[in-house]
Amino acid sequence: MLSCGLDIGTAQTKCVIIDGNKIVQGRGIVHSGANLARASRHALKEALTEADCEEYDLTIVTGTGYGRAAIPLSHKSATETSCHAIGSIYRYPGSRTILDMGGQDMSAIRIDETGAVLDFAMNDKCSAGSGRFLEALPDIVGMPFEEIRTIELEKTEPLRITNACSVFAEQEIINYFEHGEMVENILGGVFISLARRGASLLNRVGIEDEVTFTGGVSQVKGIARALSDLIEHDVNAGIDGVYIGALGAAILGLKGSHNW
């Protein structure tokens, strides 16, 4: 049996294929762009190639994310909140609180030991402090995302970025550049500013160990570290955090009980 999860977010579309034992067989990730159906096909193709199988080998396809309604391939769907909960409890079984930071949305989720959502909170309509800003960052600071992602917060002297709004924060960054500040220190400030938004959302649902950080933004080491410092809890995070929603969708596909 092969179950496929497709997470169509505002920035990226992620695909994960798992077998009946929940072992990941293939993954794919592409920019969502304007044509969500095409993005989902491309992400799926990548994952199928990695899993070395064909589309008709898939038993079930489960969609999640904003574009879930746009996937012609999916058999069922669920919100990304539920999928991040299911994906997190599988990836980090001790998870009880999750922060998912995606392209435009951010959610704090409290779950029980089965991965059921007990409470959640999301950012309001303004996407200040979400992944959108992070996407623009390489151009603003002139550093590739891969490099930004691996910067160690401890090795920087973070400058103060007071604005959560991407537009104003960009102006602050440019000001710092004009004053000859080092890019690492500016980025340290950006990490803390983004983490602060996440921390306040987490406080809204109440923090309980273990805390798991998911979504595209969670790949940035410096933000995960800043978050951990701010909330004074250890944080599970890793390079595969971006796939947790799709993984959760794939696992949900294996479960018959939920009719979402």
Q: Where on the chain is the footprint of other proteins (CB under 8 A)?
A: 66, 78-82, 105, 114, 116-122, 124-125, 204-206, 257-260
Q: Quick one: 162 or 259, whose CB is closer to other proteins? A: 259
Q: Quick one: 126 or 182, whose CB is closer to other proteins? A: 126
| Measured distance CA(90)–CA(236) in Å, rounded | 12
- The H or E element that residue 108 is part of is strand 106-111
Written in H, E and C, the secondary structure of 27-90 is EEEEECCCCHHHHHHHHHHHHHHHHCCCHHHCCEEEEECHHHHHCCCCCEECCHHHHHHHHHHH
Q: Quick one: 46 or 105, whose CB is closer to other proteins? A: 105
Q: Quick one: 106 or 194, whose CB is closer to other proteins? A: 106
Question: Which residues lie closer than 8 Å to 43 by C-beta, 6 or more apart?
Answer: 6, 13, 14, 15, 28, 29, 30
**Residue 82 Cβ, how far from other proteins at the closest point, in Å?**
5
Q: Quick one: 115 or 188, whose CB is closer to other proteins? A: 115
**Residue 173 Cβ, how far from other proteins at the closest point, in Å?**
26
- Evaluate the CA torsion angle 197, 198, 202, 207 in order and state its sign: negative
| Measured distance CA(100)–CA(97) in Å, rounded | 10
Q: Quick one: 155 or 258, whose CB is closer to other proteins? A: 258
- The H or E element that residue 240 is part of is none
**Residue 6 Cβ, how far from other proteins at the closest point, in Å?**
16
Q: Quick one: 125 or 179, whose CB is closer to other proteins? A: 125
CA-based nearest residue to 42, from 24, 60, 67, 18: 67
**4: which strand partners?**
17, 61
**Residue 101 Cβ, how far from other proteins at the closest point, in Å?**
15
**Residue 83 Cβ, how far from other proteins at the closest point, in Å?**
10
> Token pair of 181, please?
């500040």
**Residue 100 Cβ, how far from other proteins at the closest point, in Å?**
11
Could you tell me if 33 and 46 are in contact, meaning their C-beta atoms sit under 8 angstroms apart?
A: no
> Token pair of 81, please?
């909140």
**Residue 116 Cβ, how far from other proteins at the closest point, in Å?**
4
